[in-house]
Every structure is written in structure tokens, then in C-alpha cells.
Amino acid sequence: MVDLDWDDVQLFLRVVRAGSFNAAAEGTPQTQPTISRRIFALEQALNTRLFRRLPRGVRLTPAGDAILCFALEMERAARFIVATAAQETELSGRVRLWVTDGIGGYWLPPRLAEFHKRFPAVTVDILCSQEPPNIDKMEADIVVHWVEPAHPDLVILSKNTMVFRPCASRDYLEIYGMPQTLGDLRRHRLCNHLHYPRDGEWKIWAELLEGHPNLSYRTNSSMTLGEATVHGVGISLQPIGVVDREPNLVMLDLDGYEASVSFWLVCHRETKDVPRMRALIEHLQSTLFQSQLQGTAFKKLPSSE
């Protein structure tokens, strides 16, 4: 097995393109004898002649012509390696961000406009599905997940809480009236998310829905549930920040009831410091996960006391 020196392969390509050892030396610190000697050493290592030496230059031998194809492939591969490495150290390229459909479809887009202005060469792939990706297998680069990761190669970048309260549209309340307590909801139309938790503080809502006579709408999509509520289909639990963006919605104080879900911003340890990843991570931390910003899903209502 010959241990090829990439510099010698590059020199071989330079001689091919120049047509002679003299021309290959022009504009370089190497002399014609040095280039001739290195090509001869390469031929010795490969145990074949690459060039026919002619009075006015060189010409590829059949063996040299065959090797040229592979040398050009090596050159293309080297350029690809350099370009890929540059992409990893520059603010360009693709970032795959997995989020729930509610965050990805409703909360995130208004907060990405400024990011794209600052980093126009970065492409953000927003991935939404019912099954979260296996980030350990690099199915996504960054994940906003409602389950705390336990794998040692995953890094928790931020954590915040999304707070929910009963919510109805003004149109709905004009037709059906304003409920005053949770008990009043037995006489109202309700909408529900199939993936809402059923334990802890969520148990109250789950028990209210069980056997409810007017459960008018169920879905596995947060975006769909929000649209149904905005258009007066019924009362649902919605993130508290939604009323800052939807003037037709009213957040209801029903016995002070609210429920919450924690979310984690997660990235693989090996990619968290890649510049384009870091840029998006910092943007998400300062916008989506910044609790004091108005209109975000992640914020706590001021105490009513």
C-alpha cells in the first residue's frame, strides 16, 4: 500500500495543467529541478511512469491518464471538505429545529423574522411531528421538548414553563355568557387537546372533560385547537400569552385555575458550539424563552393578590 502525499498529487495535477515542469514552477517557490525530482519520486512510489518527457514539455502516459481521473476526484473531495469545514465555522448552512406544532406554527414565526435579517445565509428547517426526533441520532440539531432529556450527550440549554388558563372568544361569550367558576363549564361548550397531560394540576381539567355533555371539539394539534377557540367553537385551555396576539380572545379567571407544562431547549453536545447553531440557540433563548416578553407562551401572569 503506497502512502500517498496529497501535496504530490496536487503537484501532479499542476504539471498536467501546465504541460511542463518549467511552466508548473512559474509563480511558485519551487524550481523546475525540484518539481521534476518530486514527480520522479512519485513515479517510483507508484512503480509506474506518469509522464513521457518530451523536448518541449511532458505528456501523460496511459497509466498517468488513468491516474488523472482519480487525482481529479481527490481534488474535488478536498474542495468539498474545505467547503464543509468552512460552513461549520461560518454563519451559514442549515439548522434543523424540532418543535411542537403550536410553537412551530404560532409562537415561533414572528420571532424568526429578526433572526433571518441578521443571519440571511442560515436556513432553518422547522420540523413538527407527533413523535419527537431522536436527537442523539442527529435526527434534529435543536429540539424544544416537553420531556426532560436524560442522555449524557444531550445538553439542556434553557428551561421554561408554558402556563395555560381557560380561554374563550368574545363572540362565544356574547352567545353563551361568561362562566364564573370551573363548575359553570359543565354548561358550556369545551374544546380539548388529545395530548394534554392528565396528572397533577391537569387532573382537574381532565376530570371536567370526562363525560362532559358539550365536548364539541377534540384535536391533536395545538394550532387547530387555538383556531377553533378563536372562532368561537368553545372554551379551551390556551397559553396565557395568546391574548396579547388575539384581540378576540379573553382569558377566564375560573377559581384561579391554571395548569402548566415545562419545556426544555436541547441540543447535542457535539453541535452546540457550531456558530450557526449557537446563533439560533441564543436567538431562541432571548425571544421564545424570555419570560418577560409580551406575547410569549412562556410567561407567568402577574399575581392577582
pLDDT tens profile 27-47: 888 899 999 999 999 999 999
H/E segment holding residue 170:
helix 170-176
Q: Quick one: which of 58, 64, 69 has its CA closest to 24?
A: 58
Average pLDDT over residues 150-159: 86
The whole-number pLDDT of residue 149 equals 81
User: Taking CA 13 as the corner, what is the angle to CA 9 and CA 14, rounded to the nearest 5 degrees?
Assistant: 115
If one counts every other C-beta atom within 10 angstroms of the C-beta of residue 180, the result is 11
| Largest Cα span, the chain | 102
Q: For residue 299, what pLDDT band results from cuts at 50, 70 and 90?
A: low
Cα separation, 61 vs 49, in Å, equals: 7
**Helix pair 109-118, 275-286: axis angle to 10 deg:** 140
User: For 152-163, what is the mean pLDDT?
Assistant: 87
User: Residue 91 corresponds to which cell in the numbers above?
Assistant: 454563519
Burial of 27 (0-12, 13-18, 19+ CB in 10 A): exposed
Report the Cα 137 to chain-centroid distance in Å. 14
C-alpha to C-alpha distance for 253 and 255, rounded to whole angstroms: 6
